[in-house]
Amino acid sequence: MNIMPNSQEARDIAYHMHAYTNAARHAEIGPTVMTGGEGIYVKDNTGKRYIEAMAGLWSVAVGFSEQRLIDAATRQMQALPFYHNFTHKSHGPAIDLAERLINMAPVPMSKVHYTNSGSEANDTIMKLIWYRSNAMGKPEKKKIISRERAYHGVTVGAASLSGLPYMQQSFDLPIPGIFHTTCPHYWKEGRDGESEEQFATRCAQDLDNLIQAEGPETVAAFYSEPLMGAGGVIIPPKTYWEKIQAVLDKYDILLVADEIICGFGRTGKMFGSETFGIRPDVMIMSPKQPCCHVRPKHRCAYNGRGKTT
Ligand SMILES: Cc1ncc(COP(=O)(O)O)c(C=O)c1O
């Protein structure tokens, strides 16, 4: 590609480090610079229009340039453009949204905690799980199990929870105490002659074996996407979730449902947990604007992208 000196493309190559991008290749081909979006479309700086089939990174659930969102954001920027919730501070939109999310949750939840990204929400919940074990006088109950091919984000904890080798090789990840069990990918992992139900039984048995090997009293939580997204959009096999939940219940292990790309209607029902009959203890969710939740035993994290105002 012919990149003009001092163009947006040239300046992007010079100054901007991208996520999930081969830096050497980027220096050769440069970026596609987007300038606008409307409904399902975006357009680049040459005027070319695209259907944004992934809705931004699964983020723009109601379409680009939705007037109601522009108006609400404008009103809020004029009234109070930013405020935090440290040291007992709060504000109306945070209170209204927390109440609404608690009322929407598919199982009783107690509180909403706001973060700035899905990755941060997952790291935050890891910390809260460790905090909970300490508070309960069970400091040995700290291990967390996730799944091969899982995607939970880019930060140290979230990338450790993820089960994609390219996210971990060269970064000295995962951190200690994180383990990965079988990916519920029937098409790739199922054996010849094995039914979906038999495969689900094997996945639950693999989880049980891992918990036994590590020591059930040392395992605090199981992290999972109701439907795995970045790992390949993997629909769990029939009976998978009921069998996995039975194992977690047996050992009193918390179930964290990472709903970042399943929540708010993306799997047909309001949450992936409802679509697949999951009873989560913690929900990580994003419209995709950020959040996190917790049931009484249990919690919920709303991962909003960007500061909540
Ligand atoms: C299931 C899941 N969890 C966590 C994340 C990380 O969210 P963020 O990109 O907002 O950090 C993603 C991102 O798409 C995701 O798909």
Closest CA to 32 of 62, 61, 52, 58: 52
- What's the confidence (pLDDT) of residue 297? 38
Looking at CATH, the fold of the domain delimited by 92-303 is given as Aspartate Aminotransferase; domain 2 (3.40.640)
Q: Which of 261, 267, 302 to mutate to test the pocket of ligand 1 (most atoms within 8 A of CB)?
A: 261
Q: Tell me if 153 sits within 8 A of 118, measured CB to CB.
A: yes
Residue 124's Cα: distance from chain center in Å?
12
pLDDT for 300 equals: 55
Counting ligand 1 atoms within 8 A of each CB, the residue from 223, 258, 260, 291 with the most, and so the one to mutate, is 260
Ligand 1 site, CB within 6 A: 57-58, 117-119, 122, 151-154, 225, 229-230, 258, 260-261, 303, 305
User: Can you list the residues of the chain whose pLDDT is less than 70?
Assistant: 1, 288-309
pLDDT the model gives residue 106: 95
The pLDDT, as a whole number, for residue 302 is: 57
Give pLDDT, residue 59: 85
**Residue entry with tokens 């709303």:** 302
Q: Which long-range contacts (CB under 8 A, 24 or more apart) does 44-49 make?
A: 45/8
Closest ligand 1 atom to Cα of 58: 14
In this prediction, residue 57 carries a pLDDT of 86
C-beta separation of 202 from 227 below 8 A: no
CA-based radius of gyration for the chain: 21
What is the model's pLDDT at position 178? 98
Atom of ligand 1 nearest to the CA of 286: 10
pLDDT at site 301: 59
Atom of ligand 1 nearest to the CA of 228: 1
pLDDT at 2: 87
